[in-house]
């Protein structure tokens, strides 16, 4: 196609998106230009929104929603094929973290609180790219990705995400599998490598991983984060011990854990003592910082993904909440240093290209396989929320048939 024809086609496409200028959007590879040739009727989308915090009844299916717009040069518009429901979606539905997340939403994402679309990860197709996006993905590419907490999520037909939140999806994974890896995967990766410094400085700033011969205890090895943490650690030749319920022991052993115990069996839990001190105890079971000093084994670091930070601000406001956060942190660390000889730290989901690259590589080498608990069609999304709310998950709850 000649440059002139391409230019004309691009202009035609942009005329359907009156809020965009030709400076804001890349057309991508020329043979993929027709990907953005939507008829104007397709500028609407369907999705699940909430207008208030509450329970699953607040989830409302809406047709004719305005498609999200690219506002920043590094943003991409993605059509969603599959997505998931995480515990964070259920928590955010109930208003968890609303004070801080809403502050970020208004400042960074230049958006308002309601209506809010939940959903933190997906597999989809790139429809448009802003002019400043990296060239790692292009229009028409099949991608997997995550959505930062302050942005409207993936429980809809389309989503806007910054380019660093997506990359080409591994060809070996189905759409359901590809949607189910990155939110939990980047949580496990950042907990271990950014918070825990398992692979030293390089492990945190590159996709090199690391941690050979270290010893890590994973609490909650059968859940989404725990099951990925175990596989990630085993791929780096870390010695992995894990806890889970009786019925999940076989599954967790199959993920590669060297030693697995039933957390409801106090004798088995006692037996972990002889393996201490652990380099890291990774709490993927919602236990929180308090539990660290009740465990009967020593550790250098106890990293929990259930920090009190957002809840303290929800309950006490920003000022008093932050003071509480500092005092909580000092109290739990004083206890844990004196009783266990190690620090308590908080781990968080961090969308980072180096984490995505490491996870992608492990998937390609078949060292990391997604664990799916159940699959629901898009029209049954509230049932998926109930499934997550009821707990005892064995992997991820996935949503397909998005239309």
Ligand X SMILES: NC(=O)c1ccc[n+]([C@@H]2O[C@H](COP(=O)([O-])OP(=O)(O)OC[C@H]3O[C@@H](n4cnc5c(N)ncnc54)[C@H](OP(=O)(O)O)[C@@H]3O)[C@@H](O)[C@H]2O)c1
Choose which of 16, 286, 357, 379 interacts with ligand X (CB under 6 A): 286
| Polymer length in residues for the chain | 403
Which residue intervals of 190-308 are DSSP H helices?
Answer: 200-205, 224-235, 249-254, 266-271
Q: Which of residues 179-238 bind ligand X (CB under 6 A)?
A: 184, 187, 219-220, 222-226
Smallest separation (angstroms) from ligand X to the CB of 243:
4
Smallest separation (angstroms) from ligand X to the CB of 46:
26
C-alpha dihedral (243, 309, 51, 120), degrees to nearest 10: -50
Question: 146 pairs with which residues across the strands?
Answer: 121
- The Cα 194–Cα 303 span in angstroms is 11
Told to check if 352 binds ligand X by CB under 6 A, we report no
H or E element that contains 124: strand 121-130
Nearer to ligand X, 259 or 348 (CB): 348
CA angle at 244 for the pair 243 and 245, rounded to the nearest 5°: 140
Terminal-residue alpha carbon distance, the chain = 32
Beta strands 44-49 and 60-66 are antiparallel
Told to check if 124 binds ligand X by CB under 6 A, we report no
Choose which of 305, 376, 378, 385 interacts with ligand X (CB under 6 A): 305
Choose which of 206, 306, 367, 400 interacts with ligand X (CB under 6 A): 306
Query: Which of these, 20, 45, 37, 69, lies nearest to 139 by C-alpha position?
Result: 37
Stretch that binds ligand X, among 31-39, 106-114, 128-136, 279-287 (CB under 6 A): 279-287
Choose which of 259, 275, 329, 348 interacts with ligand X (CB under 6 A): 348
Question: Contacts with ligand X: how many residues (CB under 6 A)?
Answer: 27
Nearer to ligand X, 134 or 245 (CB): 245
The encoded tokens of residue 218 equal: 């994973």
- The Cα 47–Cα 93 span in angstroms is 15
Nearest residue to ligand X on Cβ basis: 223
Nearer to ligand X, 86 or 292 (CB): 86
Smallest separation (angstroms) from ligand X to the CB of 69:
27
Stretch that binds ligand X, among 37-45, 329-337, 353-361, 391-399 (CB under 6 A): 391-399
Smallest separation (angstroms) from ligand X to the CB of 54:
19
The SS3 of residue 285 is coil
Nearer to ligand X, 183 or 378 (CB): 183
Told to check if 285 binds ligand X by CB under 6 A, we report yes
- Tokens 């590809």 correspond to 178
DSSP classification of residue 191: I
Binding mask 74-93 for ligand X (x = CB under 6 A): ------------xxx-----
Stretch that binds ligand X, among 76-84, 209-217, 243-251, 327-335 (CB under 6 A): 243-251
Q: Which of residues 258-277 bind ligand X (CB under 6 A)?
A: 263
Choose which of 208, 245, 293, 389 interacts with ligand X (CB under 6 A): 245
Nearer to ligand X, 33 or 261 (CB): 261
Which residue intervals of 297-340 are DSSP H helices?
Answer: 309-340
Nearer to ligand X, 70 or 118 (CB): 118
The encoded tokens of residue 385 equal: 């929320």
Told to check if 349 binds ligand X by CB under 6 A, we report yes
- The Cα 115–Cα 54 span in angstroms is 13
Distances (CA, A) of 116 to 49, 146, 155, 213, 388: 5, 16, 10, 45, 19
Query: Which of these, 368, 226, 216, lies nearest to 284 by C-alpha position?
Result: 226
The SS3 of residue 366 is coil
Nearer to ligand X, 18 or 391 (CB): 391
Whether the Cβ atoms of residue 403 and residue 46 lie closer than 8 Å to each other: yes
Nearer to ligand X, 33 or 88 (CB): 88
Told to check if 49 binds ligand X by CB under 6 A, we report no
Residues near ligand X (CB under 6 A): 86-88, 184, 187, 219-220, 222-226, 243-245, 263, 284-287, 305-306, 348-349, 391-393
């Amino acid at each position: 196609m000649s440059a002139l024809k391409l230019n004309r086609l691009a202009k035609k496409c942009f005329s359907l998106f009156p809020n965009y200028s030709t400076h804001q959007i890349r057309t991508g590879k020329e043979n993929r230009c027709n990907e953005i040739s939507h008829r104007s009727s397709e500028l609407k989308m369907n999705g699940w929104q909430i207008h208030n915090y509450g329970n699953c009844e607040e989830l409302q299916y809406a047709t004719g929603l305005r498609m999200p717009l690219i506002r920043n040069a590094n943003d991409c518009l993605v059509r969603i094929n599959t997505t998931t429901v995480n515990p964070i979606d259920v928590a955010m539905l109930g208003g968890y973290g609303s004070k801080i997340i809403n502050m970020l939403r208004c400042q960074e994402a230049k958006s308002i609180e309601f209506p809010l679309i939940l959903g933190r990860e997906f597999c989809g197709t790139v429809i448009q790219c802003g002019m400043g996006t990296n060239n790692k993905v292009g229009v028409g590419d099949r991608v997997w990705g995550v959505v930062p907490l302050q942005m409207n999520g993936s429980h809809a037909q389309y989503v806007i995400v910054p380019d660093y939140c997506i990359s080409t999806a591994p060809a070996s994974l189905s759409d359901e599998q590809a949607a189910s890896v990155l939110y939990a995967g980047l949580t496990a990766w950042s907990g271990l490598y950014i918070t825990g410094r398992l692979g030293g400085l390089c492990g945190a700033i590159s996709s090199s991983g690391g941690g050979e011969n270290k010893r890590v205890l994973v609490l909650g090895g059968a859940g989404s984060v725990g099951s990925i943490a175990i596989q990630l650690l085993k791929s780096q030749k870390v010695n992995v011990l894990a806890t889970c319920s009786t019925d999940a022991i076989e599954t967790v052993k199959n993920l590669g854990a060297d030693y697995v115990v039933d957390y409801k069996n106090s004798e088995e839990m006692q037996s972990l003592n002889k393996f201490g001190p652990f380099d890291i105890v990774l709490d993927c079971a919602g236990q929180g910082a308090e539990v660290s000093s009740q465990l009967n084994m020593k550790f250098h670091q106890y990293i929990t993904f259930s920090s009190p930070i957002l809840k303290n601000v929800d309950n006490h406001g920003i000022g008093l909440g932050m003071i509480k956060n500092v005092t909580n942190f000092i109290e739990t660390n004083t206890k844990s240093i004196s009783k266990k000889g190690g620090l308590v730290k908080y781990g968080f989901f961090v969308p980072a290209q180096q984490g995505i690259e490491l996870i992608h590589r492990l998937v390609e080498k078949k060292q990391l396989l997604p664990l799916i608990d159940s699959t629901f069609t898009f029209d049954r999304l509230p049932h998926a929320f109930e499934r997550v709310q009821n707990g005892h998950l064995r992997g991820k709850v996935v949503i397909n048939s998005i239309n």
